[in-house]
Amino acid sequence: MSQSVTPVRTNQCALIRATANSPVHQFLRRFFRQKLAIAASAVLVALFLLTIIGPAISPYDPVKPDYNSLLQPPSARNLLGTDEFGRDILSRIIYGTRISITVSLSSVFIGSVIGTVVGLTAGYYGGSYDSFVMRTCDIMFAFPGILQAIAIIAILGPGLHNVIVAVAIYTVPQFIRIIRGSTLALKNMMYIEAARAVGIPDRLIIWKHIFPGTFSIALVYFTMRIGTAILIAASLSFLGLGAQPPLPEWGAMLSSGREYLMSAPHVALFPGLAILITCLAFNLFGDGLRDALDRKIVD
């Protein structure tokens, strides 16, 4: 009886050790050691919940004016006060969460997909195609991102959809450079040479062998670019080129509140804090994700 139990216990111990040494377990162990990244994750979870259930828990209509409550300070009735039209600032920030998160995720996703495809192919094939792609990126890098976005909006016209296009175009060369660099490092590896030797098509080598090696870098950069996208989208709305009134977008709220900095500073303070906290949370989460995925860090 004891002889039959021993192999079972041995197999169970081996399974436990294998699970403890799995890449997923190592990633989680490294990530949960970082307190700032965990705090940022909690903030991001709360923000994503607001994008889903925000309208259901919003205390007031975000666009309906109340001319009997103009520029009221924070109180029990309006926790964050009211704006110049008597609209509840808390309700507008809650609704603005959905707008800012949706715009930033959409723009970064579009830019990352295009940048990843171009970066993979440019790094793998090289030659004149690679030179053309990189010189184009150099031209785009020569101009500040906000100026590129303003130029694109000036051509397409103001509006949230055009903001998504502008931020996506700004994001593309960033991903091209990151993915191309990783592709150049991977394409001369022995397993890639072996795949070419046995006649595997280039498209399969790129997507099944090279792309998985660049995924972790792309994921980290994707996360950190969301904060930048939120900031650029808010800047465009602040300048009147993004969301148009009465849409409750954080940048537009900040723009309208700047006229009341002396008499009612809360009108600009709380949208500004929403932008700051959200961008900081995405950046801290991205830093934690990068450290957790870095295999050079010893547990």
**Is the residue at 110 inside a domain?**
yes
Question: Does 21 have pLDDT greater than 80?
Answer: no
Question: Does 297 have pLDDT greater than 60?
Answer: no
Give the length of the chain.
299
**Is the residue at 231 inside a domain?**
yes
Quick one: which of 289, 227, 295, 219 has its CA closest to 32?
A: 289
Question: Does 16 have pLDDT greater than 70?
Answer: no
**Is the residue at 67 inside a domain?**
no
CATH number at residue 187: 1.10.3720.10
For the segment 94-117, the average pLDDT, to the nearest whole number, is: 93
**Is the residue at 136 inside a domain?**
yes
pLDDT in the model for residue 154: 86
What residues make up the domain containing 162? 101-293
Q: How many domains is the chain partitioned into structurally?
A: 1
277 close to 129: Cβ distance less than 8 angstroms: no
- Residue 283 C-beta-side C-alpha neighbours within 13 Å: 11
φ and ψ at residue 88, rounded to 5 degrees = -70, 120
Q: How confident is the model over 123-180, as pLDDT tens digits? A: 999 889 999 999 999 998 888 878 888 888 988 888 888 999 999 998 999 999 999 9
**Is the residue at 54 inside a domain?**
no
pLDDT in the model for residue 130: 92
Q: Inter-axis angle of helices 89-125 and 35-57, to 10 degrees?
A: 120
- Model pTM score: 0.85
pLDDT in the model for residue 135: 93
For the segment 103-116, the average pLDDT, to the nearest whole number, is: 94
Q: How confident is the model over 23-78, as pLDDT tens digits? A: 677 777 887 888 888 999 999 999 999 999 988 888 899 999 988 889 999 999 99
HEC-encoded secondary structure of the chain: CHHHHHHHHHHHHHHHHHHHCCHHHHHHHHHCCCHHHHHHHHHHHHHHHHHHHHHHHCCCCCCCCCCCCCCCCCCCCCCCCECCCCCEHHHHHHHHHHHHHHHHHHHHHHHHHHHHHHHHHHHHHCHHHHHHHHHHHHHHHCCCHHHHHHHHHHHHCCCHHHHHHHHHHHHHHHHHHHHHHHHHHHCCCHHHHHHHHCCCCHHHHHHHHHHHHHHHHHHHHHHHHHHHHHHHHHHHHHCCCCCCCCCCCHHHHHHHHHHHCCCCCHHHHHHHHHHHHHHHHHHHHHHHHHHHHCCCCCC
88 close to 75: Cβ distance less than 8 angstroms: no
**Is the residue at 252 inside a domain?**
yes
Q: How confident is the model over 184-243, as pLDDT tens digits? A: 988 888 888 888 888 888 888 888 889 988 888 888 889 989 998 999 999 998 888 888
pLDDT in the model for residue 31: 78
pLDDT in the model for residue 185: 87
